[in-house]
Amino acid sequence: MWLNLFIICTLGFLAAAVDAIAGGGGLISLPALLMVGVPPHLALGTNKFSASLASLNSSITFARSGKVNVQLVKWQVPFALIGAFLGAWAVLGVSSAFLNKAVLVLILVVGIYTMLHKNLGMKNNFKGLDLSHIMVGCLFALALGFYDGFFGPGTGSFLIFSFIAFFGFDFVVASANAKVLNFASNFAALVLFAWNGKILLSYGIPMALFMILGSYVGTKLAIQRGAGLVKPIFITMSLLVALKLIYQFI
């Protein structure tokens, strides 16, 4: 029991720190729960519980530092929630086989494109908001919220890339905004897991405490070190998500 707690708390801390910086923490935290013998359906719910609390803490820390564009994300959050609920509902009756292949291609494109374009996301080129920007932001919040509820892997990477591509944010601001939307979509899924009793609190609570600490450390590192730290970790986690999907496909 104590060894299991040590494993999930240690890996949970690392997962949350990485996730706060560039997304992809689920690649570490979910396998940690499976490693100690938690059944898959409970592992998913428990991971969502711990990760949601960590992403909430990260969102608050980013917001206090002034890195969250509140004028934009306040419009996007409701759409991310709606999308996540619709995605979670849709997954009950639709195969994710095609989406698995499509996302593999997209996440590889995002990772390689970011790696090849050395100046992408290194400076904040945000020019301000107008109605068209808000509409685009709400549309991709809805789409990626749906994707997160339906399938999930790479959501953080897609959100960060979208904020950079559509709005010209640097990696730190893009990561901060992405974390707020990611929390919204995670919360929607968390409600469904909790309603169905799929959260193992004996592991979820201690893991959550360490993930909250990890998210704080990761967020502070991202704020202090800037895009120079976030970008290489973003590329690494995007490519690791792609490798995970390739493994599942094979």
246/250 Cα distance (integer angstroms): 6
3: left (phi over 0), alpha (psi -120 to 50) or beta: alpha
- pTM for this one? 0.84
140/41 Cα distance (integer angstroms): 28
Quick one: pLDDT at residue 102?
67
Q: Within a 10 A sphere around the Cβ of 228, how many other Cβ atoms?
A: 10
Domain count, the chain: 1
- End-to-end alpha-carbon separation of the chain, Å? 34
Q: pLDDT digits over 121-174, tens only?
A: 667 677 778 888 899 999 989 988 888 777 666 788 888 888 988 888 888 999
230/57 Cα distance (integer angstroms): 18
What band does 31 get if pLDDT is binned at 50, 70 and 90? confident
What's the domain range around 53?
2-249
Burial letters 14-42, b for 16+ CB under 10 A, else e: bbbbbbbbbbbbbbbbbebbeebebeeeb
